[in-house]
Amino acid sequence: MGTRDRKPDFCRGGGPPVHAVDGTANGGDGDERPEGPAVGDGADGGRPRARERLRAQGPGALSQGDLLTLILGSGTRGRSAGTVGRALAGHRLAELAEWPAGRWLAVAGIGPARAAALMATFELGRRAAQPARAGGPIRGPEDVRAHVGDLARARREHFLVLLLNARHEMQARETVSIGTLNASIVHPREVFRPAILHSAASVILVHNHPSGDPEPSEEDLGITKRLVQVGELIGIGVLDHVIIAARGTVSFRARQLL
């Protein structure tokens, strides 16, 4: 489910930037060469002013471009962090948060180290936005959603398994696959291997529908039936299969589909 991104124009002058997979562009050296003065930015690309506002007023007072500039830290020769930060600010944060490494590396002024820093920053934001995991046993699909609510916003299908102890308390959350859900990807050995390693008493299967519609497909039903049968054979019960989507949640157990 690749995002169709509109490539930003980060060039000074009239021509388009020359991109390279190692982060070099327009004669820059990616992450390794410190920035030089850039016209209109000052030698430090506006970072001192942003840092002063951050100290005096807190991060909420900073623009999106200022925050991105501070994350970047420094630019490359001829292209300041402020220039790159302001250009990136023209994109929605939700869009930037989904950019893979290759998309970041296509931006003039961003090399591998800064691409990694930006991706890590957005991942921390995602984790901070997740609801606190509830303690105690998992009693139904609402409890499951409290543990995996972040999946409702995911743009690709994720298949997870929640490992439970004998009191139905979650021991671990394991990702089995990311991508199109089918029987060849969601293999029983990949589902039950972590359950065996953690000595789980039972499991709950979870996956998301990026379309927003939580209704199970025929493929969902077939995979679930197969996994339930394998669980019975090895003595690790499948308590439920829960589909998470933007428009709701479906529990196979509640619908008597197990």
pLDDT along the chain (258 residues), means of 10: 43 41 39 41 59 86 89 78 89 89 90 91 80 71 88 88 94 86 71 94 95 92 95 96 92 93
Rounded CA-CA distance 255/240 in Å is: 10
Rounded CA-CA distance 106/103 in Å is: 5
Q: Which of 174, 185, 180 is nearest to 226 (CA)?
A: 185
CB within 8 A of 124, min separation 6: which ones? none
Give the pLDDT of residue 205. Answer: 96
Rounded CA-CA distance 25/17 in Å is: 7
Give the pLDDT of residue 161. Answer: 95
Rounded CA-CA distance 245/211 in Å is: 7
- The per-residue DSSP string of 21-32 comes to TTS--TT--TTS
Give the pLDDT of residue 166. Answer: 94
Give the pLDDT of residue 229. Answer: 96
Q: Which two tokens stand for residue 116?
A: 């990694």
**pTM for the complete prediction?**
0.51
Tell me yes or no: is domain 141-251 CATH 3.40.50.1460. Answer: no
> Is 244 in contact with 149 (CB distance < 8 Å)?
yes
> Is 161 in contact with 206 (CB distance < 8 Å)?
yes
Q: What 3-state class would DSSP assign to 170?
A: strand
Give the pLDDT of residue 60. Answer: 85
Q: Which of 159, 149, 73 is nearest to 111 (CA)?
A: 73
E-strand stretches of 62-169: 158-164
Q: Which of 233, 236, 241, 234 is nearest to 257 (CA)?
A: 241
Give the pLDDT of residue 105. Answer: 92
> Is 47 in contact with 70 (CB distance < 8 Å)?
yes
Q: Is 241 left (phi over 0), alpha (psi -120 to 50) or beta?
A: beta
Rounded CA-CA distance 203/170 in Å is: 9
159 burial class (0-12, 13-18, 19+ CB within 10 angstroms)?
A: buried
Give the pLDDT of residue 9. Answer: 42
Rounded CA-CA distance 120/118 in Å is: 5
Backbone phi, psi, residue 129, to 5°: -80, -15
Q: Which residues belong to CATH 3.40.140.10 in the chain?
A: 141-251
